[in-house]
Structure 1
Amino acid sequence: MDPVASVLDRIKGFVKSTEQFVKGAIQRRFDFHRHDPIGILKRLQREAFSDLMKLRDRQDKVERMLSLHKSGKGSLFPEASTRMKGIIDVAGALMLRDDQQTCDTLDRAGINSGIDSRFIFETTVRQKDSLVAEFMSSSNDIYYDNDVAGSPLVLAKVMYLAHINELLSVISIPFGAKCNDFRSDMNLAEGRSLSGFTSSSPPLFSQRHGCAAGLTVKASNITASLAEMISCLGTEPDAADYRSILSTFWQISYQLSEETKLTLSGAWKMPSSLSQPIRLGNVAVPKVNLRSHFRPHVMAQASPSATTMSTIGIISGGSAAITFEFDESTKFGGWVEVQKSNPSPSLLQWAITLSDTPDDEVGWGVSVGGRVEGQSNLVRLEGFLNFSMGERGSLQPGLVCVMDGTSRTPALVFRSSWFM
């Protein structure tokens, strides 16, 4: 064999052997890394962490929307700039004795019947402020030949809620203000669970006023609210019975623990000597005439004396309330209210209420209240059951006994609030 050819064959064999050895080493190293259990676990951990973060973000969004919907402060669709809430209150009474005296006694005790509806439109302004417009209709608003004919849907309130920061909020109401609008636990979609002077708050707290302004200050466990309201009585500014009434509302809430809370509230009203609109520089605040928006026959959300404001003069009055909340459903409270009028005698009203109304089971409540006006001394006892329909409404059947002197007037009452 040719020596040169033999050397070339050996060189080719060596090169081929070297190539196979290098490829084998690289392949073995690749297979080792690919089947390394520690590497596989690290890769799976990175992929699982990324998937968990995506799921956590989606869960946070769903929980935030559900919490806003449950608290009544938002909608399931946060992109909607305006939200609407509807409240329909139905109240009725079945008299066990059918005579005029029984009707008069129940009427003086504040037991009303009829259907009231409210529609609240809330618009978000500047991402954290709210502009609220409330429309309402009452079956006790218009009378024709002593028959109730109902009323159309009218604009009852306009309110602007400005959240300055986490500690301070300011509320401005051009007309239709109530003391309850400035409570620290204000709920725009709250129904009327009780009526008359056995409700959980004095009648003055639910009475309609004209324009108002107030503020709420929050600390770690204390919340304080203060508001000033002005309203007018009479038909025309030049009329003899035209006068201004100034009302002041305050409330202090102290969080004793995670579930218990103590709340003190008060309000008083007095006549004003103002005969012209209030002017602040170039801004004029007119005196609002309540009778242009609400007729004096409205009984559902006014104090009992509101029906006679057009015939007697309310000189002054005041009320105070205390509420102790053991948890979200159990509450104990009481209130007292005094009104002085001319020429009628002074009116004293009071009530004590204990209730337990959970959202997921049958609740109950008992109350006792009184009304003293001149020689008349009326006492009302009430007990009721509360059937919660969740966030859609509630049913409250109850039994009432009104004691006026030596007479006893029992009646079955029924109240229901439905939310939309």
Structure 2
Amino acid sequence: MEPVASVVDKIKGVAKSGQDLVDCLLRRRENSSRRNPIEILKRLQRETFSDLMKLRDRQDKVERVISFYKTSKGGPFQETSTLVRGEVDASGAILMVGGTDQEHIDAVGRAGVKTGISSRLSFETIIRQKDTLLAEFVAFQKGLVDIGDVSEGALTLAKVSYTANVNDWFSAIAIPVGAQFRDLDMTATSSNQGHGVTDLSSVGPPLLNQQTDSAIGLKVRKSNVIAMMAQSFSGLRRHPFSDEIVHCFGTFGQIVCQFPKGIKFSLMGLQQVAKSSSHCINLGALAIPVSFSKDHESPETSVQDSALSVGATSHEITSRTGSIALKLESELDESTRIGGWIQMKNANPKHLQWAVNAFDDAEDEFGWGLSFSGIVGCPSNHGRLQAESYVKLNIGKKFCLKPGIAYAVDGNAKIFGLILRSNWSF
């Protein structure tokens, strides 16, 4: 029996060894398949397929909700976002003048030197993804030239404008409150607004600084040429050269040609008509009085009175003035610009105003600016020449300091000033 038992044990040992060999081979094959990159990718694809399907279902649900709110009235996507901007400007000056008479005081005002603190708060809303509604509020505390005379004001509504962009080549703008012709200037950008230490180096041609109550304009763009035509109206106010109460109508036009390398050439013109009014009736900022009926004469009116009345009607237009300006700008790089302008009044080549300026408004720590301007053929029979220079120090991204100097010769008056201007935007 013992030989039989030993044979059986040997057979069992051989079978167990064979089974162990088979198991080892299977485990090696499985491990090799797991280590294969292709097999790993297939396994990951099978594991993530169900998760991708779930995410796709959720995305479909979100898109259905968004499409529902876009088509429904009064949904949250009908609301427009409003961009709020603020700016605080403070200026101080040390002026050295030849005297304190009225001639020197007027020369300081014509030089554009203004001191004090002013603030501006603007709200810009995008409507219909194309149009822009803008409202500006200003508060100021500016020192006047007269000693001890300071004008102060609370935050007041200064401007309301609506720009409708119909398509890529046509747009319209309406400014019912606080319009200025510089609001219609198509060459004005945020980079050249407010540079310099005086108003003469910040505004451009003087016709752009004309104040009016309301204006409406149309703009047409074709390739590299842009054309603007606008009409303005000013309410009842006192004429600057007389005691008459007048209201003014103005027609403004501008053509801008854009050339390569950032060169812009602009031709602009302004025609203003001031009409006298015998009745000081203020109907409000948005009212334009138009009369279609004639005044009826009483039976007691004599022939002489009638003739005087006709003569007064013929002189209803108190003044008619026109100005033409040429403006040229060139971009040397992203922040450095050079340009100049010349303005002629009443088509009289003997009465010219001009300016040449260069500035660098880089957003880094350092910037600079130069400006030269003058008038030839003033009504007072003397010219005017002014030069200024400043350095711009950027402290952070929102605050800057502009120390500068200005020198002006206005007839017999000479002015030299050390001016410090600061600006904080938020």
Question: TM-score band (shorter)?
Answer: 0.5 to 0.7
Hey, what does 1:413 align to over in structure 2? 419
CA contact (8 A) 2:404 2:419 kept: yes
Q: Relative to 1, partners in 2 of residues 1:133 and 1:318: Cα closer, same or farther, differing over 3 Å?
A: same
1:242 aligns with 2:243: no
SS in 2 for 1:409: strand
Q: Which amino acid aligns with 1:365?
A: G
Q: Which amino acid aligns with 2:94?
A: L
1:211 aligns with 2:214: yes
2:144 and 2:415 map into 1 onto residues whose CA distance is 28
Structure 2 counterparts to residues 351-366 of structure 1, below 5 A? 351-366=355-370
Hey, what does 1:94 align to over in structure 2? 94
Q: Which amino acid aligns with 2:226?
A: A
2:288 and 2:27 map into 1 onto residues whose CA distance is 92
Structure 2 counterparts to residues 124-163 of structure 1, below 5 A? 124-140=126-142, 147-163=149-165
Deviation for aligned residue 1:86: 0.9
Q: Which amino acid aligns with 1:204?
A: L
2:208 and 2:175 map into 1 onto residues whose CA distance is 15
Q: Relative to 1, partners in 2 of residues 1:93 and 1:145: Cα closer, same or farther, differing over 3 Å?
A: closer
> 5+ residue gaps in structure 2?
2-11, 48-78, 278-285, 290-317
1:22 and 1:178 map into 2 onto residues whose CA distance is 95
Hey, what does 1:373 align to over in structure 2? 378
Q: Relative to 1, partners in 2 of residues 1:112 and 1:180: Cα closer, same or farther, differing over 3 Å?
A: same
The structure 2 residue matched to 1:334, chosen from 334, 337, 340, is 340
2:265 and 2:44 map into 1 onto residues whose CA distance is 55
- What is the TM-score when the length of structure 1 is the normalising length? 0.66
1:321 aligns with 2:327: yes
Q: Relative to 1, partners in 2 of residues 1:408 and 1:142: Cα closer, same or farther, differing over 3 Å?
A: closer
CA contact (8 A) 1:141 1:151 kept: no
2:106 and 2:274 map into 1 onto residues whose CA distance is 34
Q: Relative to 1, partners in 2 of residues 1:315 and 1:125: Cα closer, same or farther, differing over 3 Å?
A: same
Q: Relative to 1, partners in 2 of residues 1:314 and 1:167: Cα closer, same or farther, differing over 3 Å?
A: closer
SS in 1 for 2:383: strand
1:43 and 1:142 map into 2 onto residues whose CA distance is 82
Q: Which amino acid aligns with 2:251?
A: S
1:210 and 1:287 map into 2 onto residues whose CA distance is 11
SS in 1 for 2:84: strand
2:15 and 2:335 map into 1 onto residues whose CA distance is 89
Deviation for aligned residue 1:180: 2.9
- What is the TM-score when the length of structure 2 is the normalising length? 0.66
1:171 and 1:17 map into 2 onto residues whose CA distance is 96
1:24 and 1:147 map into 2 onto residues whose CA distance is 104
Larger CA Rg, structure 1 vs 2: 2
2:179 and 2:216 map into 1 onto residues whose CA distance is 9
Hey, what does 1:350 align to over in structure 2? 354
Q: Which amino acid aligns with 1:31?
A: N
Q: Which amino acid aligns with 1:318?
A: I
SS in 2 for 1:180: helix
SS in 1 for 2:179: coil
Deviation for aligned residue 1:408: 3.4
2:411 and 2:43 map into 1 onto residues whose CA distance is 86
Deviation for aligned residue 1:243: 2.9
Q: Relative to 1, partners in 2 of residues 1:324 and 1:265: Cα closer, same or farther, differing over 3 Å?
A: farther
Deviation for aligned residue 1:414: 2.1
2:214 and 2:383 map into 1 onto residues whose CA distance is 35
2:422 and 2:269 map into 1 onto residues whose CA distance is 28
What per-residue deviation string (whole Å, max 9, x for no partner) do you get for residues 269-295 of structure 1?
2227899xxxxxxxxx7339xxxxxxx
Q: Following TM superposition, where does structure 1 have runs of at least 4 consecutive aligned residues deviating by more than 6 angstroms?
A: 12-25, 41-45, 141-146, 272-275
Deviation for aligned residue 1:94: 0.8
Deviation for aligned residue 1:108: 2.5
Q: Which amino acid aligns with 2:180?
A: K
1:146 and 1:269 map into 2 onto residues whose CA distance is 38
Deviation for aligned residue 1:409: 2.5
2:205 and 2:147 map into 1 onto residues whose CA distance is 32
SS in 1 for 2:129: coil
CA contact (8 A) 1:173 1:211 kept: yes
1:316 and 1:141 map into 2 onto residues whose CA distance is 32
What per-residue deviation string (whole Å, max 9, x for no partner) do you get for residues 90-110 of structure 1?
223211247314433222222
1:180 and 1:151 map into 2 onto residues whose CA distance is 23
CA contact (8 A) 2:273 2:319 kept: no
2:179 and 2:323 map into 1 onto residues whose CA distance is 18
1:15 and 1:169 map into 2 onto residues whose CA distance is 95
1:85 aligns with 2:90: no
SS in 2 for 1:376: coil
CA contact (8 A) 2:212 2:232 kept: yes
CA RMSD of aligned residues (A): 4.4
Q: Relative to 1, partners in 2 of residues 1:206 and 1:413: Cα closer, same or farther, differing over 3 Å?
A: same
2:413 and 2:275 map into 1 onto residues whose CA distance is 44
1:318 and 1:187 map into 2 onto residues whose CA distance is 21
